[in-house]
Amino acid sequence: YSSSLSFFSLEGFDVPAGLGPLLFFLTLLTYLVVLLGNGVVMWVIVMDQSLHRPMYVMVCHLTVCDLIGGTALLPRIMLHLLTGERRISYGAAITQAVFVHTYAAAFQTILALMAYDRYIAVCKPLRYHSIMTSARLHLSCALAWFIAILAIFILFMLHLNEPLCGRTVQHIYCSNRTILALACGPTPVNNLYGLSMTWCLSTGVFLIVFFSYAKILSVTTKQSRSESSIRSKAVQTCASHLVVYLVFEIATLILITLYRFPSVSTNIKKLLGILYILAPTTINPLVYGLVSKDLRASIIKLLSKKNHHRN
């Protein structure tokens, strides 16, 4: 973006008098839940050697995404709620937008990789360890991040020379769409790339997840009743991934649908724009902690061991 303005003004929430401190406290509590939940999951996976398996390594990458999304969003909102500060510097606005979009893109590419991993684990169990070697695992994770970062890098590089005339960002946080709305003229190339990138990424991830789980379902339903334990184990390992994917997609769908209704209040739109990021980042650690038996057992074991040492 090319702008002579050193500061933008965030539209923010229309907070009723006296409610600012309460909303600040609730936002702070949410941020602590994001940090604690994802931090504990990451810590347990790093510390427990038995969890150094592809699925849990990918869960660890997912927690990094959650921490990026929550940190890009919540501290700035807390500042606004506590002090009423609406100004944001040009550099901070671009940085926030980049990290918000990187979170969303990387979240999807890692979910696609996890779906493929579950497909190999369930449909080709005998070849799983020869296919998903340590080198391929780390290369695949690096590739997932590279695709996401490259897509967002190009998105913002296209805007480097785009002059901005507006000053007020029509949201509680900065994003590509809200900053681009401040451009002095039409931005067809930027809009086309943004829409194409979003469509390709979302559709590509959906197809990978759909075909992976269609194949998993086909394989598990063809197994005999004597192999019911294998089927139940497959469902257990896949359930957490599917729940996380569905939470992200439902949040996205609600947000997109809501913007088609101008009659909906701007505060509701802003709130749901935040929940689009916060719902996955707060729910994901809970989903993996509750659904994954191995991860849950490791969390209990490590926490009880820590308490035992204290006593």
Can you say whether the dihedral through the CA atoms of 142, 147, 152, 157 is positive or negative? Answer: positive
More confident residue, 307 or 69: 69
Average pLDDT for 162-191: 84
Most confident of 1-5, 78-82, 268-272: 78-82
Residue 280 clears pLDDT 90, i.e. is over it? no
Most confident of 31-35, 231-235, 299-303: 31-35
Answer for the pair 88, 11: CB distance below 8 angstroms, yes or no: no
190 pLDDT band, cuts 50/70/90, is confident
Residue 29 clears pLDDT 60, i.e. is over it? yes
Exposed (0-12), middle (13-18) or buried (19+): which is 37, by Cβ within 10 Å? buried
pTM equals 0.87
228 pLDDT band, cuts 50/70/90, is low
Q: Take residue 118 and report the two structure tokens written for it.
A: 């579950």
CA dihedral angle for residue 258, residue 262, residue 159, residue 140, rounded to 10 degrees: 0
Residue 83 clears pLDDT 80, i.e. is over it? yes
Task: Report the mean per-residue pLDDT for the chain.
Answer: 84
Residue 28 clears pLDDT 90, i.e. is over it? yes
- Residue-wise pLDDT for 123-143, tens only, equals 888 888 899 999 999 999 999
Written as one letter, the residue type at 111 is: L
Predicted local distance difference test score (pLDDT) of residue 25: 92
Predicted local distance difference test score (pLDDT) of residue 208: 93
Residue 224 clears pLDDT 60, i.e. is over it? no
Answer for the pair 184, 3: CB distance below 8 angstroms, yes or no: no
Average pLDDT for 50-57: 88
232 pLDDT band, cuts 50/70/90, is low
Q: Take residue 63 and report the two structure tokens written for it.
A: 């927690």
Please state, in angstroms and rounded to a whole number, the distance separating the CA atoms of residues 85 and 97.
18
Predicted local distance difference test score (pLDDT) of residue 90: 84
- Residue-wise pLDDT for 85-124, tens only, equals 888 888 888 899 999 999 999 999 999 999 999 888 888 8
Predicted local distance difference test score (pLDDT) of residue 106: 95
Residue 263 clears pLDDT 80, i.e. is over it? no
